[in-house]
Structure 1
Amino acid sequence: MKSIKTFVALLFFIASFTSALAQEKSIYKVGVLLDRTTPEISPLIVRLQNEIKAVVGEDATIVFPEESLLVNDFDLERAQSNYNQLIAGDADIILAFGVFNNEIISPLAVHQKPTILFGAINRDVQQLDLSKSVSGIENFTYLVESESYKEDLTRFKELSDFKNLGIAVDAAVAEILPLKEIFDVELAELNADYRLITFESVDDIIANLEGTDALYMAGGFFMGAEQKKRLIQVLLERKLPSFTVNGPADVNNGFLATLQAEENLDQFFRRIALNIEAYVTGTPMAELPIYIDYNPRLTINYNTSEAIGVPIKYSLIGETDFVGEFRNVLSQKEYDLLTVINQALEQNLSIQASQKDVDLATQDIKSATSNYLPSVTASGTASYVDPDLAEISNGQNPEFSTAGNITLNQTVFSESANANIAIQKKLQKAQQEDFNASQLDLIFDSANAYFNVLISKANTQIQVRNVDLTKRNLEISEQNFEAGQSGKSDMLRFRSEMAQNTQTMVEAINQLEQGFLFLNQVLNNPTNYEIDVADVELNEGIFEEYNYDELFGLLDNPTLREPFIEFLIQEANKNAPELKSLGYSLEAADRNIRLNGYGRFLPTLALQGQYSSTFNRSGAGSTVPEGLGFGLVDNYYTAGASISIPIINQNLNNINRQTALIQKDQLEINKNNLELNIAVNVRNGVLNLVNQMSNIQLSKISEETAAEALELTRASYSEGAVNIVQLLDAQNNYLDAQLARTNAVYNFLINALQLERFMGYYFLLNTEQKNDEFRQRFFEFLNTQN
């Protein structure tokens, strides 16, 4: 019995010990071989290490000893030494990056330690066997990317149609790879010449750009950020198109394009991590998959494209990602809102034409006033008379004679002239008020054009991001289809969505260009003048100074809102140039009524004078016969005065008076209608502002909620928990929420300026003192309501 108990205890101990051994995780030390490291590369290495640890998880403990991260700095001997050091050390797995490490490891027939080689070189010059799906070599696997120089160059040719291409390659890499043989063939097929630019620093590239019309960065992965920045600046200044093998990060910084997708690096890191996980869980290196099939995706920097004058081909848009701020990098002038308004008031053609109407009305006053200016007329005559008749005229009518006279007419008093002067003055003031109304309209129109450009810029950026989101959702649907979680219809639906969203993006880009075109028209700029507009914030810049938050607070208070509306209507009636114009027109009508009433019986008084002179008399009858006793007067003058009173003028005075009365009634009706319109417009303007106020608050919440809902729905869709309709609804909701959120402030400011137009008073264009007086008037008005 005792032996049985002892045996059971022994079994229990063995089981416990075995369980403890089973629960203890294996530890794998990973050595890393690099060609070079930089401040930009170091974070990527850390990111890769974290990815490996996360994927392997509980299967094993992964350790990256600091002393096992070795860099050869583009030195083959050091690369060999680094590899030997890891072989001799305690590294369990070797990760090898780069061309030089590839030169050392690829030729080996026997690998003493499990080794993963990756990130070596472009597949066009890859020395490894690309026909296999696995390496088939004990303790060795490698990862092959689908990228190639040929595909890059073909796409770059489509974009820029280069003729003399510069190809930049790290000098150390160019020494050990047969690049010339590769590029000779590939550039010949593209019917283009090229120059191989080997470099150790960015200065080597810049010094060799002369004679090239484009640059292909076939290297530079280890180039520092500041050096790339210098190179990009030179390329922009010389308007040289550029293409890079180093991915969208470089395109974000200013290179024109790349064929590498943003997610390629993540996919690469994930594959390395999965290979290590497979190895530590028992899969031999020789059986691990070696090929990574990337989906090539063209990425273009919109701003760089504009800056260097390379148009984006619409045939490529369906497979293109865009980066950039969609600001006009070619702009010869960047406008803020006040600059737009001031230039429009000075240079807009419509306002200039309206000013001419005021000038013409001023001329009408001068014309009416001129009726009281003297009229002086000079005339001359030359006469020939039948000699027989002249002979018997006793010198009064000679055969030949020349004479001249000067006549003066001066109106002293005329009721019709007085009335015309008064009427023209009133009409000129009415025309001036119409011009003032046109200025107020132009201020709003120019501000509206300005904000519409900002809205178009924001919408374009949102549509670009939506295309990118659709692309990622398409990738999820393709993965689900391959995994059997969804049907092909989902994938086809997202492809359709991709096409539609891309078209919407194209329309948004063109709408932005149309916005710039219209703004140029408002500003009287040439239609091809390159401009941009500065963004605005509600509580920043000029809008901070004019305290729109105060308006926000007044409208948000229900007890103050109605008195404030009444006050705004009162101010609008006082300021409205349209009402003032009608007032002057009414005064002109009254004056016309008085003229055709009792005024018609007032006399018209005028003075006349004339001086005459006979210059010459000759021929028959040119002298007075002797004995008649009188002589001829050659120079004489006359003067007189006249007075006239109309008695009956074909009843025109009564008809004119009745016409003037009808016109006055019409003006009164228009005035009442205008006052009603002002009241309605002010109230509608206030209601629109209240709507936009709530939109500012709620759209922010809506966007945050829609973004979170989209992420949850995408995660659920990727797991097959929701269908495509739910994902599309979530994406569309997020799109609408983004548009509403982005445009909320712009729409609030547009509606605020529209309300100010109805009031005839723009806070932005008045001094702080005037705005304080406006506030004081409101408080005084508020006191009268209590």
Structure 2
Amino acid sequence: MTKSGLRTLLVLTAALFFAFGSSAVAQRNARPTFRIMMLADGESPLFAERQSALKSEILELMKEDAAITFVEPGTKTNWTLEAAEAALKEGLADRRVDMIIVSGPMAGVAVGRIPKLSKPVLIPYAAPELQGLPRNGNRSGRKNLAYIAGLLNFERNIRQLEEIVRFDRMALIVGEEVVQHLDAPERPIQAASQRLGVRTSLVIANGGAETTLAAIPKDTEAIYIGPIFKWSDEEMQRLVDGINAQELPSYAGGGVHWVERGALATMETDEDETRRMRRAALFVQRIQMGEPAASLPVSFDQRPVLVINMATAKAIGTWPRFEVMAEARLINDQSGTRGPLITLEIAMRDALRANLDLMATGLDIDASYEGVKVARGSWLPQAGADGDFLINDPAVSTSFAQAQRQFTWGIGGSQLLYSPQAHAELRFRRDTYWSREHDYMSARLDTMLEAGEAYLDVLRAKNNEGVNRDNLKLTRKNLSLAETRNAIGVAGREEVFRWQTQIAESRSAVIQASALRNQTEINLNRILNRQLEAPFRVPPPEDVRTVAPGSDQRLVKYLQDAWSFKVFREFMAKEAIRNSPEVRSIDSRISARDELVKGERRQLGIPDIAVVGSFTHVPYAGGRGSEAPAPIPNVDIVGRQTFTWSVGATASLTLFDGASNYARIRRQFREIDRLQTDRAVIAQRLEQDVRSALHQAGFSYANIALTRDAAEASARNLELVTDLYQRGAADIIQLVDAQNQALGAALAAANALYDFLIDALRVQRASGAFSLEGSEEERDDFIERLDAFAAVRKRESRAAPPAAEPTRTNPREQN
């Protein structure tokens, strides 16, 4: 083959490769088209809003799976069941449509009347009991039918409204399109009302708001606003305003939107609405991927949250109780902050009183104390009783032994005088119990530290949220300035767009800061064993006096130079070991093992000694052998005794047990060696924690002033750059950089204080005591011991340094 022919062949091969490769890639990247028809009872703002939200969820979820197309129904529905059935049948027959999503009560009834569906149908808002929809467990059970239930929970809603305001008579307002073709739609709410002792009347909204308001019975004490799909938002607003004008409390079945516009309360949250939409979109995706619609779950677990409009409550003269307000999300709440005031000291003390983890530790220790009582029981008198009734062989029954029929009972007892093993066990249990008590003290310190850190995290999060909100306000101000510059021709539209971007980022930062604040509040509530989202108040973040741990100016001299600070670290390390409950716990465990060793050794030569006694009584003897023995001349015959007793002492000593006693002694010595090593490890780590925590606290304390200076300088720089930008002497890049620098410096300054306070708490935890629990006398004693230690160290520094202690080595690794 010539070179030109070979070149031609290679070109053709490459062309074919790319052609077929491109075709394969195109086939892989091609998405199937999935056509969805959305069908509703009629034109309604609510239906339009829901369909728009559902479309957005579907498009976002399935953007990688299929090309979604929404097909408009050919038949226009006009709020009649006949029109809904015609539109549904048309959609089922339309080959362009792959799936139908229906909204509204009549469309749902129309679906329920069709026994065989030719294509998947989804009902996101379904009331199967009222619409005649099938249900087989947690599925529809009907081919091509899927729906999401969980709409009707009247009893819960009415009960919640009753907790806000007491009433006996209630009116349910629903649109005529809801009740026109449903099977007794008022029955569920009337049944729920009867269970709660409330009489309910049905008011059908078949006209405008004024007509509906006039139809409300005069003796009505509360209103349940049900679905009214045909009305506009303006007509619904007139209804809500008219209900409030009659000073009637109302429950908004339409959700938070209508509470924000004047209804009193609801438990239908936007979060549940979003979850329902996302569930529906997920069903569409699963159906498109081939999963049978009839197999999809129909139940929907709502997550209700009571929402109360406090402005409406005030307007109609209703005042929810404190316990209701504490668990509710309040709209238009002008009462300011709610809940108890919590300071750092209150948080740490309340954690000791209510923390569940600490409580569980205490209960576990109480249970271990019962082990001490069990071991003590063997030293107390022991008593027992027994009885028996026997029928013996007449051939062996005699007057001197067992009668043919005989009932015998007796009581026996003993008192242990001494037992090496029982003595050692009692002391072992006692020392083990004290070890657990020291473990509790360690858990107690950990709980106080956890509560203190959580509280300071709340203050930090609140402060950061405030800084971010201030930055958002500043960004809005700069956006207004940029629009002004653009209007006068000094700057272009790109500056406006840049500040709009900054606003979006600042909003995100505020939302994130708010979320973090909520998380820190929940964490603190958990530690204090309060309702996780129960409200509470804290002092202003800038009020340092309310959060600073107790301090003493007499300590300042030990923090000003390297030598004094080193002495202070050494003293605090010794204090940590002196106060450490962990070290005391290990010491108690070592003492417990020592008692076991003593017991094993004593058991080699000291017996167990006890006093024993018993008596028996034979109240009945019958048959052969029950009679007295025949007298024999000149012989004193003693027959069966009715009462017998005995008293004595016992002693037992193990002479040889296969050398297991010696093995147990050696094992206890090994346990003691291990515990002593653990003690050294704990002491070493305590010293490390104290020294490290003091170094960190020293840095964070100095960082407070440094970050404050940086924040002040960046604020002045931002003010200067803003002025230059306003006059056209600085560009947007400089201003954005200055603002970002000022934000970072402000956050750093805000965090520096709380970093130091947390570090100070960690120093106190490492040293084994918190200042808030110490009295003035104890603080004076601490300073005196510190001064004495410093004086000794000063004298020792003038003498020759002591010889270093030999390093302990691992015996297993010596060779």
Normalising TM by the smaller chain, what interval? Answer: 0.5 to 0.7
Determine the C-alpha separation between the residues in 2 that align with 1:747 and 1:414: 58
Match of 1:651 in 2: 659
For 1:704-743, what aligned pairs fall within 5 Å after superposition? Answer: 704-743=712-751
For 1:628-777, what aligned pairs fall within 5 Å after superposition? Answer: 629-777=637-785
Name the CA shift for 1:377/1:673 in 2 (closer, same or farther; >3 Å). same
Q: Note if contact 1:187-1:194 (Cα within 8 Å) is conserved in structure 2.
A: no
Match of 2:498 in 1: 493
What amino acid is aligned across from residue 568 of structure 2 in structure 1? F
1:408 matched to 2:413? The reply is yes
1:568 matched to 2:572? The reply is yes
Match of 2:471 in 1: 466
1:421 matched to 2:426? The reply is yes
The Cα offsets for residues 479-536 of structure 1, whole Å up to 9 and x where unpaired, read as 4444554454443333233222212211221222222222221112223432222247
Q: Note if contact 1:430-1:584 (Cα within 8 Å) is conserved in structure 2.
A: yes
Give the RMSD, CA atoms, in angstroms: 3.5
Determine the C-alpha separation between the residues in 2 that align with 1:620 and 1:746: 95
The Cα offsets for residues 23-73 of structure 1, whole Å up to 9 and x where unpaired, read as xxxxxxxxxxxxxxxxxxxxxxxxxxxxxxxxxxxxxxxxxxxxxxxxxxx
Name the CA shift for 1:630/1:593 in 2 (closer, same or farther; >3 Å). closer
Determine the C-alpha separation between the residues in 2 that align with 1:308 and 1:377: 62
Match of 1:554 in 2: 558
- The alpha-carbon deviation at position 551 of structure 1 amounts to 4.2
Q: Note if contact 2:593-2:671 (Cα within 8 Å) is conserved in structure 1.
A: yes
Determine the C-alpha separation between the residues in 2 that align with 1:523 and 1:373: 43
Match of 1:397 in 2: 402
- The alpha-carbon deviation at position 655 of structure 1 amounts to 2.4
- The alpha-carbon deviation at position 728 of structure 1 amounts to 2.6
1:357 matched to 2:364? The reply is yes
What amino acid is aligned across from residue 436 of structure 2 in structure 1? Q
Name the CA shift for 1:634/1:353 in 2 (closer, same or farther; >3 Å). same
- The alpha-carbon deviation at position 388 of structure 1 amounts to 4.6
Name the CA shift for 1:772/1:630 in 2 (closer, same or farther; >3 Å). closer
**Which of 531, 535, 558 matches 1:530?**
535
Identity, % of aligned pairs? 23
Worse-matched range after superposition: 439-448 or 644-653? 644-653
Determine the C-alpha separation between the residues in 2 that align with 1:330 and 1:536: 14
Match of 2:238 in 1: 192
- The alpha-carbon deviation at position 407 of structure 1 amounts to 0.9
**Which of 380, 384, 389 matches 1:377?**
384
Match of 2:597 in 1: 593
Higher gyration radius (CA): 1
- The alpha-carbon deviation at position 640 of structure 1 amounts to 2.5
SS at match of 1:335: coil
Determine the C-alpha separation between the residues in 2 that align with 1:514 and 1:401: 78
- The alpha-carbon deviation at position 435 of structure 1 amounts to 0.8
**Which of 325, 346, 355 matches 1:348?**
355
What amino acid is aligned across from residue 774 of structure 2 in structure 1? N
Name the CA shift for 1:310/1:526 in 2 (closer, same or farther; >3 Å). closer
Match of 1:622 in 2: 626
For 1:6-155, what aligned pairs fall within 5 Å after superposition? Answer: none
1:445 matched to 2:450? The reply is yes
Q: Note if contact 1:610-1:638 (Cα within 8 Å) is conserved in structure 2.
A: yes
Match of 1:334 in 2: 341
Determine the C-alpha separation between the residues in 2 that align with 1:542 and 1:487: 49
- The alpha-carbon deviation at position 468 of structure 1 amounts to 1.6
Match of 1:436 in 2: 441
Name the CA shift for 1:193/1:542 in 2 (closer, same or farther; >3 Å). closer
Unpaired runs of 5+ residues, structure 2, are 1-208, 211-230, 251-258, 263-308, 317-324, 795-815
TM-score after normalising by structure 2: 0.56
Q: Note if contact 2:521-2:533 (Cα within 8 Å) is conserved in structure 1.
A: no
Match of 2:462 in 1: 457
Determine the C-alpha separation between the residues in 1 that align with 2:547 and 2:735: 42
Name the CA shift for 1:728/1:539 in 2 (closer, same or farther; >3 Å). closer
Worse-matched range after superposition: 378-387 or 571-580? 378-387
- The alpha-carbon deviation at position 436 of structure 1 amounts to 0.9
SS at match of 1:334: coil
Determine the C-alpha separation between the residues in 2 that align with 1:381 and 1:306: 67
Worse-matched range after superposition: 500-509 or 570-579? 500-509
Determine the C-alpha separation between the residues in 2 that align with 1:599 and 1:306: 65
Name the CA shift for 1:662/1:216 in 2 (closer, same or farther; >3 Å). closer
Determine the C-alpha separation between the residues in 1 that align with 2:741 and 2:327: 34
Q: Note if contact 2:616-2:643 (Cα within 8 Å) is conserved in structure 1.
A: yes
What amino acid is aligned across from residue 386 of structure 1 in structure 2? D
TM-score after normalising by structure 1: 0.58
Determine the C-alpha separation between the residues in 1 that align with 2:629 and 2:248: 108
Name the CA shift for 1:186/1:477 in 2 (closer, same or farther; >3 Å). farther
Match of 1:78 in 2: none
Q: Note if contact 2:548-2:757 (Cα within 8 Å) is conserved in structure 1.
A: no
- Number of equivalent positions: 499
- The alpha-carbon deviation at position 725 of structure 1 amounts to 3.6
- The alpha-carbon deviation at position 370 of structure 1 amounts to 1.7
- The alpha-carbon deviation at position 473 of structure 1 amounts to 2.5
SS at match of 2:416: strand
- The alpha-carbon deviation at position 562 of structure 1 amounts to 0.9
What amino acid is aligned across from residue 497 of structure 1 in structure 2? Q
**Which of 473, 480, 494 matches 1:475?**
480
1:367 matched to 2:374? The reply is yes
Q: Note if contact 1:236-1:307 (Cα within 8 Å) is conserved in structure 2.
A: no
Unpaired runs of 5+ residues, structure 1, are 1-162, 165-184, 197-206, 218-234, 243-304, 313-322
What amino acid is aligned across from residue 381 of structure 1 in structure 2? D
What amino acid is aligned across from residue 437 of structure 2 in structure 1? Q
- The alpha-carbon deviation at position 593 of structure 1 amounts to 2.5
- The alpha-carbon deviation at position 652 of structure 1 amounts to 2.2
- The alpha-carbon deviation at position 236 of structure 1 amounts to 6.0
- The alpha-carbon deviation at position 576 of structure 1 amounts to 0.8
Determine the C-alpha separation between the residues in 2 that align with 1:640 and 1:537: 80
Q: Note if contact 1:415-1:600 (Cα within 8 Å) is conserved in structure 2.
A: no
Q: Note if contact 2:554-2:783 (Cα within 8 Å) is conserved in structure 1.
A: no
Determine the C-alpha separation between the residues in 2 that align with 1:723 and 1:694: 36
- The alpha-carbon deviation at position 238 of structure 1 amounts to 6.1
Name the CA shift for 1:625/1:307 in 2 (closer, same or farther; >3 Å). closer
What amino acid is aligned across from residue 238 of structure 2 in structure 1? A
